[in-house]
Structure 1
Amino acid sequence: MRAALYPCVVRHTRTAPLRHAFVYRTYQWLVDLDDLPRLPGPLAWLGRFEARDHLGDPNATIRANLDAFLARRGVLADGRVVMLTNARAFGHAFNPLSVYWCHDRSDRVVAVVAEVHNTYGERHCYLLTPDDDGHAETTKAFYVSPFFGTGGRYRMRLPEPGDGLALAITLYRDRVPVFVATLRGTRRAATTRVVLAAAARHPFVTLAVSARIRLQGIRLYLRGLPVAARTPHRPEEDTQ
């Protein structure tokens, strides 16, 4: 698999206890963990893929760390692994969500890992076994928004991207959907021209994503939404 870019649209919709929505455009990378792209010369500042930005040992590889995470949970993914993520750009990395599709030797998806980062420098990895349509459910176990605690349950739709990208995550509390995030885009080969065009449209892309999240948080706070208490989170890959 050659690396790809997905110019995409992100939508967040909060329905309770008050309604709030926002939309923004960005782009994401889809890469093979065994064949990570290395942009030449100065272009390397536009996209680096480093273990320190993801789960596990920053001195190992992303693939080795993912394999160790899966092995501790009895999952063998001995085929290719593709990752949808933001690359480190201009020395900065921030990934609200990175998704790993883990295949066996017959190229069947045996697991999906949803790696979530919050703006407090913490992360959590959800190990999922989606159905044939990419649907999976899991209990919320990580503090992301300052206005939601860790209660609730996620319903996710995470089909492996092809020509199109269409992911959705819905948070339910007491069986009522209170938050929906969607990500939709169209595949582009990660040529030099495409990478430069994406960077020109979305300069300092990861800083922009982080700033947007904080701005929306300020708006919600000013609207009177109460802040939920947060306790420090131990990364999921550090637990047995």
Structure 2
Amino acid sequence: MILNSQIFRGVVVHERFSPQSHKFSYPMNFFGFDLTELKLINAQASIFGYNEARPLRLNDSDYLHGSPEPILEQLDRLLPAEEPSQHTILISSPRYFGYAFNPVNFHLRMEGRRLLCAVAEVNNTFGDRHVYPLRELEQINDRTWVTRCMKDFHVSPFNDMTGEYRFTFRIEENEIFLGIDLYKDEACVMKTHIQGQGQSLTNGSIFRYALCHPLDTALNSMPRIIWQAAVLYYKKKMKVFKRPSPVSNDTLVDRDVKSDNRPVI
């Protein structure tokens, strides 16, 4: 029986405050996969494949180090090993007929309803992948945790490499809010978040996800990014920062050899 995994129907919101103001939001469907339930979901949901070719597909090699090793084992190199009383939830979207682009995935290490630690896995449009292991969280209340870390990975061509990320995790039984805010000199220059209402993951709910909202998935992330980048570049005349070669040890996938340093605009 699938106990912890869910499908979320929600929204992704992105707002810039400096040097130009700009805001957009899109409806978004995403999953919360208990990593120990992936094989069970594969067996019970006919259109979902775990490392198998099906309409919806999740591959271990699409995450973290890009290896075929199970995601949970890859996480053991970044976080303390999962204890028997704990479980890890992957917030992400699977491949949709073979394609998906997830700008950020979250790996949430839980004990009951309590968040212990997390990994924010960031993908840029150049094909690089970087992780922020978040091992020390401050608990604000029984459902909210915050933490911060310095930015050391190039994501948007409209941001330089300076600044500090401030993360907010609000996790309830059937609702989730995951926020990343960018601060420079103690001023917030950009706020982003995803949030959604969860429902049990069943064969029927996966079918509804695939058939009723095909454009509100990771299938449509890249076209949305390109459109918003065009607005920033052509209409708002934002300065473009070229992609630097990754230098951090937390950049797990470096496509520098294949990149020609052209931003997606």
* Same topology, TM > 0.5: yes
Q: Choose the corresponding residue for 1:115, options 105, 121, 126.
A: 121
Partner of 1:35: 37
Deviation track 1:167-215 (CA, whole Å, cap 9, x = no partner) reads 2111011211111012121011122222222222332522201110111
Call closer, same or farther: CA 1:162–1:97 in 2, change over 3 Å: farther
SS at match of 2:224: helix
Contact 1:89 1:206 in 2 (8 A): yes
Q: Choose the corresponding residue for 2:205, options 189, 194, 197.
A: 194
Deviation track 1:201-235 (CA, whole Å, cap 9, x = no partner) reads 33252220111011101110102101012113266
Quick check: 1:18 aligned with 2:20? yes
Call closer, same or farther: CA 1:131–1:208 in 2, change over 3 Å: same
Partner of 2:178: 167
Quick check: 1:136 aligned with 2:142? no
Q: Choose the corresponding residue for 2:131, options 121, 125, 128.
A: 125
Q: CA deviation at 1:46?
A: 4.0
SS at match of 2:94: coil
Alignment of 1:26-105 (within 5 A): 26-36=28-38, 37-38=41-42, 40-44=45-49, 45-70=54-79, 75-78=80-83, 79-103=86-110
Query: What is the rounded CA distance, in whole Å, between the counterparts of 1:171 and 1:49 in structure 2?
Result: 30
Residue type at the aligned position of 1:165: I
Query: What is the rounded CA distance, in whole Å, between the counterparts of 2:60 and 2:246 in structure 1?
Result: 19
Partner of 2:232: 220
Partner of 1:4: 6
Partner of 1:152: 163
Deviation track 1:2-58 (CA, whole Å, cap 9, x = no partner) reads 321000111110111111111100111001111112164445434322111110252
Query: What is the rounded CA distance, in whole Å, between the counterparts of 1:85 and 1:161 in structure 2?
Result: 17
Contact 1:114 1:127 in 2 (8 A): yes
Contact 1:53 1:93 in 2 (8 A): no
Q: CA deviation at 1:238?
A: 4.8
Q: CA deviation at 1:165?
A: 1.2
**Which is worse superposed, 2-11 or 32-41?**
32-41
Q: Which runs of 5+ in 2 are unaligned?
A: 254-265
SS at match of 2:58: coil
SS at match of 2:78: helix
**Which is worse superposed, 168-177 or 76-85?**
76-85
Partner of 1:233: 246
| Structure with more of its chain in strand, by fraction | 2
Query: What is the rounded CA distance, in whole Å, between the counterparts of 2:5 and 2:176 in structure 1?
Result: 14
Q: Choose the corresponding residue for 1:181, options 187, 192, 195.
A: 192
Call closer, same or farther: CA 1:237–1:177 in 2, change over 3 Å: closer
Query: What is the rounded CA distance, in whole Å, between the counterparts of 1:211 and 1:192 in structure 2?
Result: 28
Contact 2:129 2:252 in 1 (8 A): no
Q: CA deviation at 1:237?
A: 6.2
Contact 1:31 1:82 in 2 (8 A): yes
Query: What is the rounded CA distance, in whole Å, between the counterparts of 1:151 and 1:83 in structure 2?
Result: 28
Tell me how large the CA RMSD over aligned residues is: 2.2
Q: Choose the corresponding residue for 1:207, options 201, 216, 219.
A: 219
Query: What is the rounded CA distance, in whole Å, between the counterparts of 1:12 and 1:63 in structure 2?
Result: 29
Residue type at the aligned position of 2:87: R
Call closer, same or farther: CA 1:88–1:208 in 2, change over 3 Å: same
Query: What is the rounded CA distance, in whole Å, between the counterparts of 1:77 and 1:53 in structure 2?
Result: 21
